Structure 1
Amino acid sequence: MPRWANRLVKAGIIAAVLATVGGTGWLAGHGAASPERPTDDLPVADLSPKPITVTKGEIVSRLTVDAVVRADPSTPVRSTKQGAVAAVYRKNGQKVTKGQTILTVKLPSADEGDGGDPGQDGTAKKPAKKPKAKIVSVTAPVSGTLTGLNAAVGQDINPSEPVAQIDRGRFQAVATIAGKEVYRLYNKPEEVKLAIDHGPSPFRCKLLAYGAGASDKGGKGSSGGGGGPQDGGGDSGDGGDQGGGGGDNVEVTCRIPSSERVFAGIRGKMAITTDSVHDAVVVPLSAVLGENDKGRVTVIGDDGKREIRKVTLGINDGKQVEVTDGLSEGDKILDRAPDDPSFDAPGKPDDGGGDGDSPPDDGGMDGGDGGGGGDAPVMVPSG
């Protein structure tokens, strides 16, 4: 290639590079390299309450809680009479059946006889005949394995102290229900199922008892003593110390079938179906101020006016709640619970429900703009 042609090619390359650099600078200077910022504001989510239509549906109220397996307490074996051990027929580790004799007890004689007093003629009476010793049996109150038997012949025993224990080889599952969930127990639970961690597939678990806070006669959340043992087996010692949680928590106890292989101390989940309704008027729980028995909703009339209305509540599943009175299918309500001025933030004007001198709240029950009272019911939703 001639020398002049080589120089011409180099000059063309340099000119192309300069043109590219200059063009980029011009575009940057005129804003083409960075697009203009949009003048319109970004869309903002609309969090205002929305009208919804009341419908009918079904609710299955089910609590799923942690559970632990416990062995049934041993059943004590006691004598009904005080006396001395006459004979022992069983030993520790043996299987016994209900009513089987474990040992016998010799009762003390009422009069051993001492020869009698002298008669009028000075001769002694014949010695009184010793009464025959009375022997009573101590039997097994339930069937199971005999343990703790340490009675020996001639040993004195009394009814206040057990002479042995019987291990029935039975297990129960115990679940603790938090206080805020107690209302969900409603009537006596309909069904209890148990799933053991790394164990058998879920199985039915017969209800034995549920503790303080739930009435055995259908009351909703009545305080006081818990229901007693509910097992229909009829044997003594069946319930042991079940139920009766008291305080902030209550216990639900169920009988694990003997066909299931479990061990004391293992954990699992207990699913408690407390109640169910079909073809009932239901609304979102977030639309109701209150969760149990009584509540309030915001009803929208045909003319668009809003009205706070009292309603009677049934069961809920943590998301929806049954309305037994106060609403009908087709009514329109707001999907957010009405505020209660009694729980407004300090300093916010109210309608007389609160005391302006009350100390500041930490927001836990705040119903104002910052406390979430407009976004959720005042009461914490269960489940």
Structure 2
Amino acid sequence: MNGKTGPFLTALACAFAVSGCTPASDPSVAGPPAQAAPQTLTVERGDLASVLVVPGTVVDRPEYALAAPKAGTLSLGNTSPDEPVTAGGSPVVRVGDVPLTAPHDGIVADLPAAEGTRVGRGATAAVVRHGGLAVQIQVPAEQAYRVATAPTSAKTTIDGGPGGLECTLAGVVSAPEEAGQGQEDSATPYSALCLLPLDTEAVPGLPARVGLQLETREDVLTLPLSAVSGRQGSGEVAVMAKDGTVERRPVGLGVSDGTLIEITEGLAEGDEVTVAAPGFG
């Protein structure tokens, strides 16, 4: 090695040593990124109205049943078939001491039981033909009892037509053979009508959606549906502990309005749970 190349090689060796041997304590070296803590929300109290949304079809002047609200003796008074009836007018018939009136203008289509007949709760006391349009809906079989027995208000939105319309729930009058078919098949949906105001502008045959308000809960624990695994009766949430750990916890579930769900057990007001349900975080 001559005198000219010696200093050059020495400097090159020093450069390699510096670039290849960075000290472990050098703060410029990035380590693995810290895992972000999951987002959480607080269990709060509020009021819930259970809403069931079902599909339907607009129909023209359908017939519906005036059902007996309790068991009793049927009194027809002066009512006869083809007689006009008015909303909130004179009773169409009476069951015991309870008068049954039509919710909208129409005509009496049928009186299936004779004067003085003893009828049971829910039996058809009279059949009325609605004077306007209605939405015929199909309720899932597992929800049929709640719709048929619970006091229910409803709103409908007609595809390509008006939305947010209040409508009156009424039972469809079924032929005997149709009723028999429904009894044979436990999965047969429950059919009902939502009677629309007489001035509603729509066309028979249009599809629609009806929201049925079934139950109301006041001052109950609630969470968004997105934070809960499960929907019917029981489920799971991910609870954030004070030390930052996450625990999967079973909870009892009540009614839902489609956005929030009632928590009946397993949590307390002020508990923190993750925004994403267990298994979806």
In the superposition, the TM-score normalised over structure 2's length comes to: 0.49
Structure 1 or 2: larger strand share? 2
Rg larger in 1 or in 2? 1
In the superposition, the TM-score normalised over structure 1's length comes to: 0.38
